[in-house]
Amino acid sequence: MGQTTLMRFGNVDVRPLGGGFGCLGMLLFSLLASLLLTLLVNLIL
């Protein structure tokens, strides 16, 4: 416990904000945003 998960992109270390809950929240936000954008694009076209 107490270790933060790091994602590496080249020489950059990315730490999720808020630990595990912040990471989960960002994942859920990403899924919801992609669903909403997909629906919006389908309605426009």
Q: What is the pLDDT of residue 14?
A: 67
Mean pLDDT by 10 residues, the chain (45 residues): 59 68 82 95 92
Structural domain includes residue 1:
no
Q: What is the pLDDT of residue 1?
A: 46
Name the pTM for this structure.
0.53
Question: Number of folded domains in the chain?
Answer: 1
Structural domain includes residue 22:
yes
Give the range of the structural domain holding residue 26, as residue numbers without chain letter.
Answer: 7-44
The answer to whether residues 16 and 26 touch, using CB atoms and an 8 Å cutoff, is yes
Q: What is the pLDDT of residue 37?
A: 95
Instruction: Please report, for residues 5, 21, 29, 34, 43, the alpha-carbon distance to residue 13 in angstroms, rounded to integers and kept in the order given.
Output: 10, 19, 22, 25, 39
Q: What is the pLDDT of residue 6?
A: 62
